[in-house]
Amino acid sequence: MVKSSFCVFIALLCALLALAGSSQGEDGTGGGSTSPADSAAAADSAATADSLALLARGDADPGFHPQYSSSYEMNKQARNWGQTFSVNERLGPFLVQNSTNVILGRDQNRGNRRTRFATSTATATVDLGLGFSGAMSGEMSRRTALDALTRTEDNSTKGDLSLSYSRTTGPLATNVSASAGILKNDVYGQSSLGRVRQPAIEDPVDSTRVDSTLALGTSLGVSGSATYKPTRRLSSTATFNAERSELDSRIFVFWRGRGQRDTSETSPNRNGNWMASLRTEYTHATASKLTLDLRSSNRDNEYYLVQQGIEKSRSTDNGVSLNAIWKLPLSVDGRADVYVRRSDQSYRKLPDRGTVGDQQGFTIGGYRLMPFRVEASVDFGVDLRKNSYYVTRLTENDVRSRSMKLSLKREFSRRFSVSATSNLGLTSFFYHPSDSLRINNPNEYAQRLAQDRDDYRRLLDFSVLYKPGPKFDTSLSLQRNDRKTVYVKARASGNNTQSERYQILASITYRWSGRTQITQRYSIAADYSYFVFNEAGNSLTRETKVLTEIRSRLTNRTELLLGHDFRFRDSGSYKNQLYGRSLEDTQQNLQAQTKYTLHEDLSLSLKQRIETRSAHSLFTDDTQRTTRLELIEGIDFGHSFASGLSLDGSFNRTDSYLAQPGITLPRKEKFWLIAASLSKRF
């Protein structure tokens, strides 16, 4: 059935391309697979672009030009069919936008679960004159999921009305907007529990639970911004945003079956937040700039807890930052950042969750082109953080971070360059248990106190880029990455760890001709892990990778890709400079892919892949082998017709074979991966 439908579709596609060849020139476009979600996103993006074009052309094209698109996707476990209808037109003084999406799906791996998702959004904007503009929008969404045991529905409807005012007077530009909205949300869920034995009933009965939630709410918002630019070098921008929303939910639980009691409860939600910021910039010269940022925000939430009742929480966040860029003597480009921030989170019913966080720090750096064309860059930063809690029985902690980065680069010629980078970092953690905890729980007090530690990080990187000739590109990189964790308290010193990673990376690319390119990448790495006071946990892991890839355009219509991936990894204990190997893991992946372009809008592809993996334990002398074979046949097409119709898609048929001797029986699979889309602008 699938093969016959596939042949009929290909015949129809070739007929359409043949008809289009005589009426269309070189305006066809290539295509690919498109999922329903991507189709909806593409429709929204196209609608936005079209609205800008409409505003620019005014009433030059007053006709009605809706757009329709449809997409279909099928893989090994699910099928989805999506449809989108959008309108983006100017009707008199109104700019009207509408987008309606419908997606139907079926998932075989989830009990043949069927889903349906539909959403529609509409917006109408109008220019009222004198700097005023208005907008009205609405959105409806319907979600349904159904399988053998459950059924869920989620329906929501909301509307918004907004009014905006913009004006520019000399150096002052202002923008103010206000909005109001309503929301209705209805959620329904039904689950069958099968035959359940209820208390005081001798025989089991069929029991079904039904959950229903009805939510109604409103929202109000106001926002504004003002930019003042008295001179060419000085400018200030102030912004403000405030929102208030209320949502009351009524939750019902019904039981269809004897021995159960229906329940209901009300859940009120109140949310209010505001944010204000001020940004001032001063430019002294072309390369010198000073920026000051002030920001403050507040958020109040009121919601329902099942056991505690109405909970109220408040969070605040205040911060200030200063950024400077300047030109220093000796041709040094300097930069600096200084910041201070404080956040506060409090709860009325659950005060032990309340936290206070303080953060302050700075970064400073510079760049200079030194003699002999050496580029030097230095960055240094300090970050200090303190986290505390409202309830003193918990532990406060300080986090202090320091970092430094040094980079050097020297270009000897266009074909040869050398660079070196060093990153250093030190982070310290300090914990401060309260005195009440020391009195009430000495063991926990000692455990928290023993968490004080220092984390040290270092990265060294030396890289070389060299082009021996016009056909060659080579690179080499040597890296060392160290990390140490040292606990300050003696009782926790057994957890001190140290890790070292040494890695060599190399690559070479050879362009045999204008049609063929050969690339090889190499990687050799060794990871050492040490426990300073527990050598039994020391370990070593080594890994070698070789990746080879050949790309060639055999003819103007034929492309060839050959690839081989080899990876070898072993691991084991490492004590007294002796390596005790315990596990070896070898992986190889060989693939060959051919693509033939029949037409600028139609191509065929064939991909073969074989993957083998062998895991050998030296302790038990057991070996686990896995072999996977895949053959993928594909067709890709994409065409845009002169009438505004576009057609894109891909069909891929996969034959898979998996063998794991001694674990499972060989498994064979055949499945299709299909993705197609059609779009038409009327």
CB 650 within 8 A of CB 675: yes
Asked if pLDDT for residue 167 goes beyond 80, the answer is yes
Question: CA 442 from chain center: how many Å?
Answer: 44
pLDDT band at 333 (very low <50, low <70, confident <90, very high): confident
**Which residue has 């409807």 as its token pair?**
157
Q: What is the pLDDT of residues 454-465, one digit of tens each?
A: 999 999 999 999
Asked if pLDDT for residue 32 goes beyond 60, the answer is no
Asked if pLDDT for residue 431 goes beyond 80, the answer is yes
Q: How far is CA 415 from CA 47, 470, 504, in A?
A: 47, 9, 21
Of 682, 543, 676, give the one whose Cα is nearest residue 39. 676
Q: What is the pTM of this model?
A: 0.74
Per-residue b/e over 439-466, b at no fewer than 16 CB within 10 Å?
eeeeeebeebbbbbbbeeeebebebeeb
Q: What is the pLDDT of residues 485-514, one digit of tens each?
A: 998 888 888 888 999 999 999 999 999 888
Output the pLDDT for position 254: 74
Tokens coding 323: 């950024």
Asked if pLDDT for residue 355 goes beyond 50, the answer is yes
Of 118, 65, 31, 14, give the one whose Cα is nearest residue 677. 31
259 against 219, higher pLDDT: 219
109 against 219, higher pLDDT: 219
Of 538, 591, 598, 599, give the one whose Cα is nearest residue 565. 591
Output the pLDDT for position 256: 66
Sequence-separated (6 or more) residues with CB below 8 Å from residue 89 = 54, 64, 65, 66, 95, 96
Complete DSSP assignment for 17-86: HHHHHTT--S---------HHHHHHHHHHHHHHHHHHHHHHTTS--S---EEEEEEEE-SSEEEEEEEEE
Output the pLDDT for position 63: 59
pLDDT band at 53 (very low <50, low <70, confident <90, very high): very low
CB 65 within 8 A of CB 86: no
Q: Once rounded to an integer, what is the mean pLDDT over residues 189-199?
A: 59
Asked if pLDDT for residue 196 goes beyond 50, the answer is no
Q: How far is CA 582 from CA 464, 527, 540, 570, 574, in A?
A: 35, 15, 10, 8, 11
576 against 611, higher pLDDT: 611
**Which residue has 């020139």 as its token pair?**
25
Tokens coding 43: 């429709």
Q: How far apart are the C-alpha atoms of 217 and 245, rounded to whole Å?
A: 7
